Homo-oligomer: A and B are copies of this chain.
């Protein structure tokens, strides 16, 4: 058995992807549509304001393409908060016009591959700046008005090429190289890494944010050439969209 990395967790995350039932929307009387928008805006504003928990954050995004129309993303201290948020959406009048297209359950995580100082035995010794950096990773803010990209991923466990068989140091080196490439994009692309081992079908979820959608394409392409990814990365579906303020929900639905 090779050594697992130490990890620190923050908030649980629900990526809740919704399809709008456009046929029902077109057919509905104005009054019902207005009620759906009003209750939808209230739900989204309440959750962005985190009235349901002591801490956390939420946001809503439009999604391009057939895989979903909306992404509602919740980060909360417990799985129970996510379960409640997911069900409360269904009880709004907006819920009546949507179906859950897919979803992803995970928990924010930083690992000891690259932040070993943070995992030093004597907690007192950890630098305050580092503490804040880690805190920002596991209890992140979601940027306004930016493009979002979500995808789940695994580290390969092939018959010949197997991440989990590598010695810790080799994995740490690969992750350091990966992090270096990602850091070059600092200021242009932000990312949230969350673990889904035991929680959902892939091992991690990655959520990227960028002001320019081409930067999303470019960072995913560039990272595909680093050794941690080219040899060991396996990917699920990619979703792309853009954050909007809850107050714009009506404009979104009206096209």
Give A233's nearest chain B residue, CB to CB. B157
Residues of A177-197 contacting chain B, CB below 8 A: 177, 181, 195-197
Query: Which residues on the B side are within 8 Å of A213 (C-beta)?
Result: 12, 78-79, 107, 199
Residues 128-165 of A at the B interface (beta carbon under 8 Å)? 147, 149, 151, 156-162, 164-165
Per-residue B-contact encoding for A192-223, CB less than 8 Å = 1, 0 else: 00011111110100001000011011111110
Q: Which residue of B lies closest to A25 (CB)?
A: B90
CB-CB nearest in chain B for A91? B255
Chain A facing B: main interface SS? mixed
How far apart sit A195 and B221, CA to CA, in the bound complex (Å)?
Answer: 9
Taking the complex as formed, is A86 at the interface, i.e. its CB lies under 8 A from any CB of chain B?
yes
Which A residues between 221 and 246 are near B, CB-CB below 8 angstroms? 221-222, 224-227, 229-231, 233, 236-238, 240-242
**Interface residue? A113 (CB, 8 A):** no
A interface, how many residues as a size bin?
35 or more
A residues 1-43 near B (Cβ < 8 Å) are 1-4, 7, 9, 12, 14, 16-17, 20, 22-23, 25-26
Give the residues in chain B near A201, CB-CB below 8 Å. 236-238
A residues 93-125 with Cβ under 8 Å of B?
A: 95-96, 100-105, 107
Would you call A64 an interface residue if the criterion is a C-beta within 8 Å of the partner chain's C-beta atoms?
A: yes
Name 7 A/B residue pairs within 8 A (Cβ), A-sorted.
Answer: A1-B226, A12-B213, A16-B66, A65-B86, A197-B221, A198-B217, A200-B240
Known: A7-B218, A90-B255; 5 extra A-B contacts, CB below 8 A, are A4-B224, A65-B200, A165-B230, A197-B217, A197-B224
